[in-house]
């Protein structure tokens, strides 16, 4: 299973754009890159998923370079409610075992 | 709201006891996975069930066992509870065999405290 590396924590201010980068050097051909958000004492919530190039939804954008060895989650204009732990995962197409790392604690300050 | 419900929300058990946690998957989903999340750590995969059969297992001892029922709901059973079993237990449902990649939907979890 591909291992991911991401910053332990990040601070930002309300209204700013936040970019969280994840390294996954051993990503396999069949792996997708998925990001989850988790608030305290709640289950992780799917944010976005991609395979290559750029994916955008109503919540975030995901940028994946051609070699796919890293990815960047972009959150536009964050608010206090975006304070959470963000996990980067790589998983096969069948979405079997999800391997979570320690995630990135994002703290949005007023 | 993911449509995945877990019960109970909180539970306190004594070391050595047995516990059963329950999960109702999202309508239409045929796959259920269980995760253990210790305080300050990411969720760790316990096992997955697909069409009532175990379909993958993480690094957990046999005293962690599970079931999936014909309606795709699931149970996690833990025997001979240890203090280190205290954690948030998460259930995630997904639709396997749909082609392409699938998204996992997590429940709110069951907070188990072993004393």
Residues composing chain B: 115
Compute the nearest-CA separation of A28 from chain B (Å): 14
Query: How does DSSP classify residue A7?
Result: -
Partnered with residue A9 across adjacent β-strands are A105
Q: Provide, as residue numbers in chain A, all residues whose Cβ is less than 8 Å from the Cβ of B94.
A: 95
**Could you report the per-residue pLDDT of A76-92, keeping only the tens digit for each?**
999 999 999 999 998 87
Smallest Cα–Cα separation from B30: which of B42, B48, B10, B12? B48
For residue B99, is the peptide bond before it cis, meaning its omega torsion is within 30 degrees of 0? no
Contact B103 A45 (CB under 8 A): no
Q: What is the mean pLDDT of residues B31-41?
A: 93
Q: What is the mean pLDDT of residues B62-81?
A: 95
Name the band, by pLDDT with cuts 50, 70 and 90, for residue A2: low
Residue B111 CB neighbours (<10 A): 16
Is residue B53 less than 8 Å (CB to CB) from chain A? no
């Amino acid at each position: 299973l591909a291992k991911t590396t991401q910053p332990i924590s990040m601070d930002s201010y309300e209204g700013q754009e936040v970019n969280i980068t994840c390294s996954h050097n051993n990503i396999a051909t069949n792996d997708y890159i998925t990001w989850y958000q988790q608030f305290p004492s709640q289950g992780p919530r799917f944010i976005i998923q991609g395979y290559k190039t750029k994916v955008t939804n109503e919540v975030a954008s995901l940028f994946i370079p051609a070699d796919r060895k890293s990815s960047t989650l972009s959150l536009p204009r964050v608010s206090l409610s975006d304070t959470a732990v963000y996990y980067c995962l790589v998983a096969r197409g069948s979405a079997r075992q999800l391997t979570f790392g320690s995630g990135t604690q994002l703290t949005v300050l007023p | 709201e993911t449509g995945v419900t877990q019960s109970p929300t909180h539970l306190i058990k004594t070391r050595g006891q047995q516990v059963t946690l329950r999960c109702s998957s999202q309508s239409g989903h045929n796959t259920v996975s269980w995760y253990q999340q210790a305080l300050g750590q990411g969720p760790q995969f316990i096992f997955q069930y697909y069409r009532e059969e175990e379909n993958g297992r993480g690094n957990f001892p046999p005293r962690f066992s599970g079931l999936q029922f014909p309606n795709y709901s699931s149970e996690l059973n833990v025997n001979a509870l240890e203090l280190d079993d205290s954690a948030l237990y998460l259930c995630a449902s997904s639709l396997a065999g749909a082609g392409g990649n699938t998204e996992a939907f997590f429940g709110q979890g069951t907070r188990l405290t072993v004393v």
